[in-house]
Amino acid sequence: MKTVILINGLVIISLIISFSKDKMKTKKSIMIALKTLGKIAPSILSVIMLIGIMYGLFADKIALFFGQENGVIGFVSIALFGSVLHIPALLAFPLAGSFLQEGASISSVTAFITTLTMIGIVTLPLEIKTMGKKFAIYRNLISFAIALIIAALMGVIL
């Protein structure tokens, strides 16, 4: 909530300063904001809807994945699951903490958290729309590789 007030306050102050300095430029920036909104609104609405669907269908199945944790295949499937799933990171940590207490390995929990936050299959359409197909594919693929490396290293260190 504090963040919301902070951001909106900041923007209102910026708008006032901008308006007092140059009315035309301020008008133009609002036009840019509206245009961008029009362009990405359908993508954003689909992403929000998809997140709801993912969460509704799979949230109670996460524990199942960690229960069957075995070897490389289990490890990679947890990472894949984290990539497809999209739940707020703030909710993910209590969840991940409970898996750790129930005996899940550090590597698999790390793989889950890292892919969950860094990779967004759900947000991919939006990423492609704003940054281009090549960029989005590179970023998500390399992020996946990195998540596996970080997870493996965490298992060795801790």
Partner 1 sequence: MKDQMMKKNKKSSKKGFLFLGLVIVGFALITILVPEKSPLILQTSFDYFKQMAMVFPAVLILMGLFTVWVSKEFVMTHLGESSGIKGIAVAFFLGAIPTGPIFIAFPMAQALHKKGASYTNIVIFLSAWACIKIPQELMELQFMGAKFMLARLGMTTVFITLMGIIINKLMNTEKEIEVKI
Among 3, 20, 70, 103, binds partner 1 (CB under 8 A): 3
- Quick one: DSSP state of residue 70? -
Residue 25: CB minimum distance to partner 1, A? 5
Site for partner 1 contains 53 (CB under 8 A): yes
Pick between residue 35 and residue 67 the one whose CB is nearest to partner 1.
35
Tally Cβ neighbours within 10 Å of residue 144.
Answer: 20
Q: Are 81 and 62 in contact (CB under 8 A)?
A: yes
**b/e map 111-141, b = 16+ CB within 10 Å:** bbbbbbbbbbebbbbbbeeeeeeeebeebbe
Q: Which of residues 47, 62, 78, 79 is near partner 1 by CB under 8 A?
A: 47
CA distances in angstroms from 126 to 40, 82, 113, listed in the order given:
7, 19, 22
Note whether 80 binds partner 1 by CB under 8 A. Answer: no
Binds partner 1 by CB under 8 A, chosen from 52, 61, 67, 133: 52
158 is an interface residue for partner 1 by CB under 8 A: yes
**Contact region with partner 1 (CB under 8 A), list: 61-69, 71-79, 95-103:** 95-103
Tell me the closest approach of the beta carbon of residue 77 to partner 1, in angstroms: 20
Secondary structure letter of residue 122 according to DSSP:
T
DSSP 8-class letter at 69: -
By CB under 8 A, which span of 28-36, 66-74, 77-85 interacts with partner 1? 28-36
